[in-house]
Amino acid sequence: MLEDKILLWRFKRGSTIALERIYTKHKVYLTSVATALLNDTHAAEDALHDFFVLLVQSADSIKLNRSFKAYSAVCVANIAKNKLKRRKLEPAALEGSCAIETEYPEPVLLAQQQEQTIAINKALAKLPYEQREAVTLHLLAGMTFAQIAKSTDTSINTIQSRYRYGLDKLKTLLNNEVIK
């Protein structure tokens, strides 16, 4: 977290190297957040790039009151939500793997991880957006319910309910996938 603050400080003072480091450090994580919300790797990459364009355009006005990781996850989630609204997209099932890096050298383990990721993304795509957002921001972004509530301008009880209903539906969907 300290590294992010230093990088952001340097970036705000014109360092392109700092911006490159921020991008390199967070691109996989932010693409994963966007993929979980949009269920489309190409749209997720677009959301990631849209975020960094906005970051560059508004560098002078950024004042973080939380971690850069949480800030960027909320921004990417908002961009994803706007993409869905603008294009009136219904999230489609992923045809390929999502952009999550792995450290498994064995092809069999990599294939298993990719299958699991695809199954999870398909199940996430079946959730209403609000539930998908609550689950993704809490589990993937590591945000507290209070942080999610504040960033989405929603009550904490509503966020907790969306999260609980989302997890229940995910469990059901994933159990049905395993049973098949």
21-52 per-position pLDDT tens digit: 999 999 999 999 998 888 888 889 999 999 99
Query: CB 90: neighbour CB atoms within 10 A?
Result: 8
Angle between helices 16-38 and 107-125 (to 10 degrees): 70
- Indicate the pLDDT class of residue 169, thresholds 50, 70 and 90: very high
pLDDT (0 to 100) of residue 177:
63
Average pLDDT in the chain? 82
Secondary-structure percent of the chain, ordered helix, strand, coil, rounded to 5? 75, 0, 25
d(CA 91, CA 105): 31
Rounded to 5 degrees, what angle do the CA atoms 149, 33, 67 make?
Answer: 55
CA distances, 78 to each of 4, 45, 81, 134, 147 (Å): 21, 14, 5, 12, 14
pLDDT (0 to 100) of residue 20:
95
Helices (H), 126-155: 129-135, 145-152
Coil, strand or helix: which one is 163? helix
* pTM for this model (two decimals): 0.68
Q: Are 43 and 34 in contact (CB under 8 A)?
A: yes
d(CA 134, CA 145): 8
